[in-house]
Structure 1
């Protein structure tokens, strides 16, 4: 039950301060983002500590480290601020055939081909007068989300990205291995050990290219060695490599409808699948909060119908 007397004693204006300190972990940087003095940030933090009865942040060599209680609040804060912003907004946006604004959606390269067509058709029927822009998730997408140049993005979930970006799971994904139709591994079910004798092809994630893939980690943990023969953030190039080699590539089963005629999907011989969920990503609340919330609902519903 809500303690109304305690709620009334809180200065809700300090919620934004708390969120920014949580993201920056540095009072000077928080002050710069809020266009106030560092002294004002320190006073606000002192007030928060008094009102909430917790230290909230502890200073260490890396900056300000949130307490366990503070971490719990920071996890929920983006959604809370988003809800407050929408509740107080008096802008009556209508997202129907009268809407003529712009919508920008970024999609992971591995999802681009099978799902972009469905997104185009879906939003063309809902908002035919809008300007719809669909782009690949690239090295720049994280900054584009933060700077509100992209309204919403679709990728695997979860990702190690800025806390200024809200990420939410949508649904599970079924994964397969993609190989050429004459591949030796298409004859019958095979073990993980047998797959390790063939080269691995990877559709890499822009911004995450230097990280070892989940499939590579699974082979490593099993004491098996596998060789990466090709990797690209362009899925069509990965397909071309698979056509002319005995390579295999992990990919979501939704790609099957768009596969080149020379390729097919086969089952993965282990349970520890890489990235088993879709996720949607959008910036923290702003004047665009209503359109991002609407987009999140529509895209989530659309993706669930495909999986």
Structure 2
């Protein structure tokens, strides 16, 4: 039986991520001919081409994709035998940390998370932007210190880690002096309606709008926006009724009232999940684990 070289398996993962031998060589600090020799050994060991050249990129074979299903996790477990994450110190973080957060979560989760990060890591610069439709592709192309937080469901591929960190529910929102007292369907029909959009989510109508349409309620949606400032200003100056995340309630007091959406529109106890996204390369990094735990704690406290 041919000897199996487990050290070559790391190359398999890196080639799948980089899709070019020259990039894999640079990342492993080896020459390109050395990478080619290592790949030939892998092909011999698995009796499969593993990667097929497609123009300038390498495309994994079906057998290679099957191998890669569990391989990164196995290598991470092996690496943990030689590493000690307890030595990681968040105060030593520096450079830029990019957070791409869904707009409705920025005033609450975003504020608390950035406050904690800049307090614990004074040499770190946090760059916070809105989660947009192209954010998943941005996270795929920028694996280092780029993290996204938004509502589910969200269409991504296996390149990104998706870790659920909490949930949120939506409610009707009106100004404190609004004449509406109870959020019945009949009362809602009397006022213009604004819906808080979640950028990059399911294409087409928002979840609330879909439910309204499913009930065949003849109610025109007067505004769709992901801009929380626009919605709050509109609610303050008019008799608009908004649909916004319940997590915003504390930050909007005492100027606004939150009323539960009737169960005929939104099922009782319905909540929308929230997840943290990053490149799979960061799956077991200490910073990723810290962000997951911290965001969970913040959402639980809101």
TM-score by length of 2: 0.69
Note the 1:241-260 alignment, pairs <5 A: 241-259=234-252
Match of 1:222 in 2: 215
**Deviating more after overlay: 139-148 vs 11-20:** 11-20
Distance 1:154 1:242 in 2: 26
Distance 2:206 2:143 in 1: 29
State whether residues 93 and 290 of structure 1, in contact with CA within 8 Å, keep that contact through their aligned partners in structure 2: no
Return structure 1 stretches of 4+ with deviation > 4 angstroms. Answer: 8-15, 17-20, 29-37, 43-46, 63-67, 76-93
Distance 2:297 2:210 in 1: 32
**Deviating more after overlay: 295-304 vs 101-110:** 295-304
Deviations 1:125-150 (A, max 9, x none): 32233223322223442233112265
Shift, 1:284, TM fit: 1.1
* 1:16 matches 2:10: no
Match of 2:278 in 1: 282
- Local SS of the residue matching 2:143: coil
Deviations 1:42-89 (A, max 9, x none): x9599388xxxxxxxxxxxxx99989x969x84x67655655565566
Match of 1:293 in 2: 289
Instruction: Name stretches of at least 5 consecutive residues in structure 1 with no aligned partner.
Output: 1-7, 21-28, 50-62
- Local SS of the residue matching 2:155: coil
Shift, 1:254, TM fit: 1.8
Deviations 1:160-190 (A, max 9, x none): 1233111111122232121233444x32351
Shift, 1:155, TM fit: 0.9
Note the 1:118-133 alignment, pairs <5 A: 118-133=112-127
Instruction: Name stretches of at least 5 consecutive residues in structure 2 with no aligned partner.
Output: 26-34, 49-58
CA RMSD of aligned residues (A): 4.3
Match of 1:177 in 2: 172
Deviations 1:200-254 (A, max 9, x none): 3122233348432111111122222332211223211122233344433322222
- Local SS of the residue matching 1:285: helix
Change (3 A) 1:157 1:101: same
State whether residues 106 and 150 of structure 1, in contact with CA within 8 Å, keep that contact through their aligned partners in structure 2: no
State whether residues 105 and 133 of structure 1, in contact with CA within 8 Å, keep that contact through their aligned partners in structure 2: yes
TM-score by length of 1: 0.68
Match of 2:262 in 1: 269
